[in-house]
Structure 1
Amino acid sequence: MGYVDKNMMEGEVLYASGRLHWIIFSKAIAFSAAAAVLLLFALALHMGENQDTAQGTFTLGFISLLPAIWYGIEALIRRQSTELAVTSKRVIAKFGFIRRSTIEINHSKVESFHVDQSVLGRMLGFGTLNINGTGGGITPIPNITDPLGFRRRAIEAIDDSQKRSST
């Protein structure tokens, strides 16, 4: 983890890290599937006697690959440039590669965690983790893998830090 490792404070320990779920590739997968269907259909037409129709379908199939590639690259960059971590002192989320957005919430400023999962999210293991900070700030982290597990590890880290500070 680049950002998290570079910004750890003295004595801070990494408890858990998280990542975005593969569901962020769903647009790329959908466009790839559509392109595959069109290309297979064009191949079937080409083997038959519809050469003109086959050429148009091939062209349409290859054109439909362009958004698949675009969305695939976009999702890959998003997944690789997102860092989620729970340390002994903070909850950290970093988004972005060129345009960066970071959220760092000290344990003492975290009020609660709220997880939103759709039926598909529960089946595939992803959801949105909302971190409620003191002062009414809500920080959503969408499409996180195993949001309940990440929340559990964050709560354990906060409990441990509160026990250490009270002794």
Structure 2
Amino acid sequence: MASYVQKILSRDETITYQAKISVWSLAPLIVLGFFFLFLWGIGVIFFIAAYLKYISTELAITNKRVIAKFGFISRRTVEIKLSKVESMQVEQGILGRIFNFGSLVVAGAGTPQAPIPGISDPITFRTKFMETQEDAEAAAKVAA
């Protein structure tokens, strides 16, 4: 079965980088799962919630846009064209720095800030985004 990102690619659009949500960002759910596991098995619900959040979050950069999809049954997406992104901020707390996870805040022209929480290795994601954006701008100049 194709992923959400693969299903929505437009003509001549290719994925340049994909990221995953960090398992460390799911630590509160996992800890609650262990804590409540011995209480009538309620902890299994927390484990399932963490697993579903992990498998249902998709993060990608294509040669045309940034795509983030959250949710298993209900879906929330963030899709911003590369040319419309004005800034991409990385937010990492102490644990995020230690375990290499954090949140990205994407701000675009005419688009409110779009947070992408719990991403694994957010610095690499931002770097790949900047490279892809520069490549797209260079290709647009050559075409013009």
Alignment of 1:57-72 (within 5 A): 62-63=38-39, 65-66=41-42, 68-72=43-47
CA drift at 1:98: 1.1
CA drift at 1:136: 5.2
For residues 91-131 of structure 1, the C-alpha deviation after alignment (integer angstroms, 9 at most, x for no partner) is 00111111011111001110010000001100001000000
Change over 3 Å in CA distance of 1:64–1:130 after alignment to 2? farther
Whole-Å separation in 2 of the counterparts to 1:107 and 1:34: 43
CA drift at 1:63: 1.1
Matched with 1:42 is none
Counterpart of 1:140 in structure 2: which amino acid?
P
TM-score by length of 1: 0.78
Residue pair 1:34, 1:64 contacting (<8 A) in 2 also: no
**Local SS of the residue matching 2:107:** strand
- Choose which of 91, 104, 107 in structure 2 pairs with 1:132: 107
Query: What's the C-alpha RMSD, in Å, of the aligned pairs?
Result: 1.6
- Choose which of 124, 127, 132 in structure 2 pairs with 1:149: 124
Q: Unaligned stretches of 5+ in structure 1?
A: 36-60
**Local SS of the residue matching 1:23:** helix
**Percent of aligned positions that are identical:** 38
Change over 3 Å in CA distance of 1:79–1:32 after alignment to 2? closer
Q: Unaligned stretches of 5+ in structure 2?
A: none
Following TM superposition, the consecutive aligned residue runs of length 4 or more in structure 1 with deviations greater than 3 angstroms are 31-35
Residue pair 1:113, 1:130 contacting (<8 A) in 2 also: yes
For residues 56-103 of structure 1, the C-alpha deviation after alignment (integer angstroms, 9 at most, x for no partner) is xxxxx731641x211111111111011100000000011111101111
Q: Work out the number of aligned pairs and report it.
A: 141
Residue pair 1:128, 1:142 contacting (<8 A) in 2 also: yes
Alignment of 1:1-167 (within 5 A): 2-34=3-35, 62-63=38-39, 65-66=41-42, 68-135=43-110, 137-167=112-142
Counterpart of 2:137 in structure 1: which amino acid?
Q
